[in-house]
Structure 1
Amino acid sequence: MATTVKGSSKANTGQRVGYVRVSTVDQNTARQLDGVAVDRVFTDHASGSTTKRPALAEALAFVRQGDCLVVHSMDRLARNLDDLRRIVRELTERGVSVEFVKEGQTFTGDASSPMANLMLSMLGAFAEFERALIRERQREGIAIAKQEPGKYRGRAPALTAEQVADLRAKDAAQGGKGRAALAREFSVSRQTLYQYLEPKG
């Protein structure tokens, strides 16, 4: 059941603007706002912990007074509780409402009002707690899997043994110069490149 936490602004008459964030490019973005009516969608492919969310910045700059920013859930919009409260407060002060589909909450008007602030803080805290539990279960699952031979392999190597040998030969031939070009040639980051060229231990 949806709930609207109101402040002092008028009802929305503008666009419904969707914001979607998925952790990797492989995740399905359509599921987050499936069946939800929106006029436009901005999508980030980034971890929730990163501050680099260009699509969110675009969405926040795009919305105008009377618009509604629609997000699947609070943890999709913000990195933490402080971030969540700041974004919602800034939007509602501009006359933009914020709708969270999963939580069934829509914030309008002044989100710093006592009731709105209480509701936002409670739901945001629960979302943070849920994320912490998920991360803990993931760590425990990995730890258990590592104890079982052959079950946990971790991330696949970026390069094969032959590619590593080729990379090291080319690097030696260049005297350690032109490593940025080598990284582009082998489609790896410079950090990964250095890990192969200068292994520890």
Structure 2
Amino acid sequence: MSGQQVGYLRVSTQEQNTQRQLDGVELDKRFEDKASGKDTKRPELERCLSHLREGDVLHVHSMDRLARSLDDLRKLVKDLNARGVVVRFHKENITFTGDDSPMANLLLSMLGAVGEFERTIIRERQKEGIVKAKERGVYKGRKPALTSEQVNALRSRAASGESKALLARDFKISRGTVYKYLNAGIINC
């Protein structure tokens, strides 16, 4: 019995699109993230991994779309193969079944390391660009997550005893950001 043909597509930002990824590949189901590949904590990747069953084939445009970390890439492929899921990377034209040759495993490691290296270089360039922009006085930093009205509402609700987790959900921010706003204010919660 053959399984489903499942696609996983990823771009790093909301402005990018996945049109070129897996173009022409017939899929029964597709999962698409607009998130960094720095780790595996991506909502659609998690849904995809939960969806996959023995006999399924996971199609991914390229290795760096699945993971930018060599450790994450190797773990994902190994875990999927152990569950009976075949992983196919189209750009590299490599398929992993769990019965892979030493050459396929070498390629996975080498190409995965290149993806990880690229991400490190990108982060390095971003940091350098921010330093230069600060020197020129044009770097304004990240846009605040909340408006001043929202911050006042957050502080008021926290002072009345609402849980930080509920506040984070309602304001669509992390609990860490909730604490950042509370600790920056007069109210000590």
Give the structure-1-normalised TM-score.
0.70
Residues 153-192 of structure 1 mapped to structure 2, 5 A cutoff: 153-165=140-152, 168=155, 170=156, 175=159, 177-178=161-162, 180=164, 188-192=173-177
CA distance in 1, matches of 2:99, 2:62: 20
Segments of 5+ residues of structure 1 without an aligned counterpart are: 1-11
Does the C-alpha gap of structure 1 residues 139 and 91 become closer, same or farther in structure 2, counting only changes over 3 Å?
same
The yes-or-no answer on 1:56 pairing with 2:45 is yes
Question: What SS class does the counterpart of residue 99 from structure 2 fall into?
Answer: coil
The equivalent residue for 2:113 is 125
Give the structure-2-normalised TM-score.
0.74
Structure 1 residue 191: Cα displacement: 3.0
Whose RCO is larger (CA < 8 A, sep 6+)? 1
CA distance in 1, matches of 2:82, 2:61: 21
Q: Is the 8 A contact 1:93 1:109 kept in 2?
A: yes
Does the C-alpha gap of structure 1 residues 108 and 155 become closer, same or farther in structure 2, counting only changes over 3 Å?
same
CA distance in 1, matches of 2:35, 2:60: 15
Q: Is the 8 A contact 1:93 1:110 kept in 2?
A: no
CA RMSD of aligned residues (A): 3.3
Q: Is the 8 A contact 1:89 1:110 kept in 2?
A: no
CA distance in 2, matches of 1:160, 1:76: 34
CA distance in 2, matches of 1:96, 1:39: 15
Does the C-alpha gap of structure 1 residues 102 and 193 become closer, same or farther in structure 2, counting only changes over 3 Å?
same
Question: What SS class does the counterpart of residue 21 from structure 2 fall into?
Answer: coil
Structure 1 residue 109: Cα displacement: 5.0
Structure 1 residue 71: Cα displacement: 0.8
Question: What SS class does the counterpart of residue 147 from structure 1 fall into?
Answer: helix
CA distance in 2, matches of 1:48, 1:104: 20
Does the C-alpha gap of structure 1 residues 94 and 186 become closer, same or farther in structure 2, counting only changes over 3 Å?
closer
The yes-or-no answer on 1:89 pairing with 2:78 is yes
The yes-or-no answer on 1:37 pairing with 2:26 is yes
Segments of 5+ residues of structure 2 without an aligned counterpart are: none
One-letter amino acid matched to 2:71: D
The equivalent residue for 1:7 is none
Structure that is richer in helix per residue: 2
Structure 1 residue 25: Cα displacement: 4.9
